Structure formats: C-alpha cells, structure tokens
C-alpha cells in the first residue's frame, strides 16, 4: 500500500515564535523587516539562530556571525531567544499535528512527521495538509510548510520547497522533475564535506547522484553512507515514522569565551561551570552517567577530545568535574589559547538503586548536599 507521510516544518521557527510573542505584547511584527534571533546580541562571537525572510533576501543566513550580518544590514533588528517560550510554541503545534494522526515523530523542536496513510484514505492529501497548516496559523499565529510524500525523505524534501505557509507534494513519480535538478547539497544527509567531494568528481545534482553506480559512490564516501545516499537520491526511504520517545544517549555543555583564554585558572572555572550545567541536567532527568568527556576548541577551530569511564555511574557534580580535570592535561598543553571548553557525559542509565560503598568518600555527603542546593536554586529561579 502506498504510504502518505506529512512533514510539518515551522517557517523560521525561532524568529516566528519570537514575533508572535512581540505582537501579542503590542510590538511590531519583526517577520516583516530584516531581523534575526541570536544568542547574546552583545557578545561579539554570537551567531544567528534564525533570520526573517526579508533578512534572508539580503543574504543573511543562519549560523552567520551577528557582526557580519550587521555589516550587510546596519538597521538589522536583533532579538534574543527565549527557550521556555519556544518549548511552549513547539508543544502547541505538535499537539495540533497529533490530532491529524497519532503516528507522529517529533524530529526536532520545530519539525515533525506524521503518517497519514489511513487518515487520507479516500481524501485529497493536499486538502487535508492545507487544513492542518491553516489551523496552526489561525490558532497559534505562526506559519508552517507541509511536505507530502510517499516516505519521510520525500516529505521532508517537499517541505523545503517554496516558503512560507505552503503545501507541496513530492511523490515518487515526481522525483525526476522536482528533485533531480536540485544540487546535491539539497539532499538530506549531504553536508558541506560530502558536497565538496561529490562536486570534485563532477556529481553536481541529485539526479547525477541517483544515476551514479553505487559501487563508485561507495569508494567516494564509504559503503554504508553510499548505500543510503543512493537510495535517497532515487527517492527511496523505507524508515518508519518512529512514535517511541527516544531516551537521550548523551548530555553536554560548552562555552565559547569572549576572548581566547590561556590561564589554567580561567579554564578550570569554565570547566566547573559546564560541569554544573551538565550534572544538573542529568539529575533533572534522573540519569546517571558512567563516561565523562572533555573537549576544547582552539583559535584555528581544531578540536581535541578525551573521555574516560567511571567505576560506577554518577550524577554528582564534583565527581564529574574531578574526572574532567583528570582528562584536561590530555587535551590541552596548559598554554595554547583556547576558544571553547566543553564537557559531556554518556553511557547514561536510569538504574534506580544507588551502590553505596562502605568506603565511600566522606566528602560525598557534602557534595550531594551542594548539588541539592544548586538544583533547588535553579528550579526556583526558573519559576520566578
């Protein structure tokens, strides 16, 4: 049976969501002028998280440094992101989508797939998708694109066609006409590096890729990746819409400094800060971790990373920090200026029991108490 999948994608999500809030509070609509959402706009290293359509028309792109965009457009409106509000907007649009089909997979904060195979039976999928898009726009105040296809890949490719507030189809039979003329970079899973490599061999469009001998492609990009890429270029994808919630596998935090740092005291302070953030997050989700990693980014953007396993899983900040401190000499010589420091944990478990060793460090009780207070403060500042 022919599947019918919808991919729903919020147009310039963070920017639209910020605009909705500002309009509600009596402000102007930043969607109509060149505007962007960024991290801390005062931070000279801050980059653009989302750009309005007028900003994009001027050549301003997501992930571009704010300073660069300001040179393109000195009157650019810059607003700071608000994650709590974004999560609320995300929940709003997801729950409307879920009304249309319970077979829903959230792909990111602003995208989801729904399997409409049975819901569309005997109906026009485009009419249903239009109703869905209009309902989101009219009740929540922001627009989405809906892509319709016979699998997830085609639906996702279709939602990326003309924006905003549009419905597009990309059925298998439309692939040669609508997808093959596009550049390879437009295909999902083809990033910058792969594009460079493919173009070097004269493979410029998705059509070129589709017609390439899979064995040749395998030599270019590796066997497993090549197989998926070749299928996708031909519009084939049999992956199901995954409704199961995926447990996190890792958790990390990183901080980029205003200026590159080389004083070990500064680096240690940064390590402490990210350790607090990561440990707090895993405690909130009732996780404990048995692998800790530290990474640094240098001025030239090269990175270095080391990880180690712990004897037993932990959620205690001091234990995580201690492991990270032990790894630091392996990633950093203690002198070269560093742009960014990060800390991650993985091998997460939910095991409820606590293995209390008879020989447990007597300081542990103190550490746990410290963490408890930290969590309490975080929670209360959030509710203010």
Which residues of the chain form contacts with DNA (CB under 7 A)?
Answer: 39, 44-47, 49, 62-65, 67-68, 71, 107-111, 188-195, 222-225, 246, 248-256, 277, 281, 291, 293, 301, 303-309, 330, 339-340, 342, 344, 346
Nearer to DNA, 128 or 151 (CB): 151
C-beta neighbour count of 189 within 10 angstroms: 10
Nearer to DNA, 186 or 364 (CB): 186
Cβ 193 to DNA shortest distance, Å: 4
Nearer to DNA, 24 or 249 (CB): 249
Phi and psi for 343 in degrees, rounded to 5? -140, 135
Given the residues 111, 244, 354, 376, select the one marked as catalytic.
111
d(Cα 18, Cα 79) in Å, to the nearest integer? 8
Nearer to DNA, 167 or 274 (CB): 274
Cβ 22 to DNA shortest distance, Å: 21
Q: Is there a contact between 146 and 132 (Cβ–Cβ < 8 Å)?
A: yes
Q: Which residue from 370, 357, 341, 355 is spatially nearest to 288, judged by alpha carbons?
A: 355
Bridge-based pairing of strands 250-261 and 338-349 is antiparallel
Nearer to DNA, 67 or 379 (CB): 67
Nearer to DNA, 141 or 228 (CB): 228
Phi and psi for 155 in degrees, rounded to 5? -60, -45
Cβ 227 to DNA shortest distance, Å: 9
Cβ 185 to DNA shortest distance, Å: 8
d(Cα 365, Cα 372) in Å, to the nearest integer? 11
Residue 102 to residues 2, 97, 202, 336: CA-CA distances in angstroms? 19, 8, 43, 53
Cβ 11 to DNA shortest distance, Å: 12
Nearer to DNA, 218 or 364 (CB): 218
Q: What is the CA radius of gyration of the chain?
A: 24
Query: Strand, helix or coil at 116?
Result: coil
d(Cα 35, Cα 78) in Å, to the nearest integer? 6
Chain Cα centroid distance, residue 180: 27
Cβ 83 to DNA shortest distance, Å: 10
111 is catalytic: yes
Q: Which residue from 245, 244, 239 is spatially nearest to 5, judged by alpha carbons?
A: 239
d(Cα 367, Cα 371) in Å, to the nearest integer? 6
Containing H/E element for 102?
Answer: none
Q: Which residue from 248, 257, 271, 360 is spatially nearest to 311, judged by alpha carbons?
A: 360
Nearer to DNA, 35 or 49 (CB): 49
Q: Which two tokens stand for residue 352?
A: 């409820």
Q: Is there a contact between 349 and 290 (Cβ–Cβ < 8 Å)?
A: yes
Cβ 44 to DNA shortest distance, Å: 6
Distance between start and end Cα atoms, the chain: 53
Cβ 128 to DNA shortest distance, Å: 23
Q: Which residue from 317, 295, 306 is spatially nearest to 372, judged by alpha carbons?
A: 317
Q: Is there a contact between 291 and 317 (Cβ–Cβ < 8 Å)?
A: no
By annotation, the residues acting in catalysis are 111
């Amino acid at each position: 049976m022919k599947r019918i999948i919808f991919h729903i994608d919020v147009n310039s999500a963070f920017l639209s969501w910020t605009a909705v809030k500002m309009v509600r509070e009596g402000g102007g609509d930043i969607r109509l002028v060149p505007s962007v959402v960024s991290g801390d706009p005062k931070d000279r290293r801050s980059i653009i998280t989302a750009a309005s359509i007028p900003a994009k028309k001027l050549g301003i792109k997501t992930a571009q440094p704010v300073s660069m965009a300001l040179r393109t457009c000195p009157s650019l409106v810059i607003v700071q992101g608000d994650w709590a509000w974004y999560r609320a907007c995300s929940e709003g649009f997801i729950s409307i989508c879920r009304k249309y089909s319970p077979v829903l997979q959230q792909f990111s904060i602003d995208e989801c797939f729904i399997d409409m195979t049975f819901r569309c039976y005997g109906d026009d999928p485009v009419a249903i998708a239009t109703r869905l898009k209009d309902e989101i726009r009219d009740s929540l105040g922001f627009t989405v694109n809906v892509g319709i296809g016979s699998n997830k890949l085609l639906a996702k490719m279709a939602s990326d066609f003309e924006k905003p507030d549009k419905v597009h189809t990309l059925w298998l039979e439309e692939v040669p006409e609508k997808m093959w003329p596009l550049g390879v970079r437009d295909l999902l899973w083809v990033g910058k590096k792969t594009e460079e490599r493919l173009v070097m061999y004269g493979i410029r469009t998705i059509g070129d890729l589709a017609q390439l001998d899979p064995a040749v492609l395998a030599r270019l990009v590796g066997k497993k990746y090549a197989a998926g890429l070749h299928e996708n270029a031909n519009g084939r994808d049999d992956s199901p819409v995954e409704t199961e919630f995926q447990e996190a596998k890792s958790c990390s935090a990183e901080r980029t400094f205003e200026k590159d740092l080389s004083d070990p005291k500064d680096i240690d302070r940064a390590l402490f800060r990210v350790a607090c953030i990561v440990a707090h997050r895993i405690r909130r989700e009732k996780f404990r971790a048995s692998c800790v990693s530290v990474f640094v980014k240098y001025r030239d953007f090269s990175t270095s990373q080391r990880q180690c396993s712990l004897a037993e899983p932990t959620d205690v900040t001091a234990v995580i920090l201690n492991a990270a401190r032990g790894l630091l000499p392996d990633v950093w010589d203690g002198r070269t200026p560093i742009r960014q420091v990060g800390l991650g944990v993985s091998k997460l478990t939910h095991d409820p029991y606590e293995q209390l060793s008879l020989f447990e460090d007597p300081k542990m009780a103190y550490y746990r108490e410290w963490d408890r207070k930290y969590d309490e403060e975080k929670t209360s500042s959030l509710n203010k």
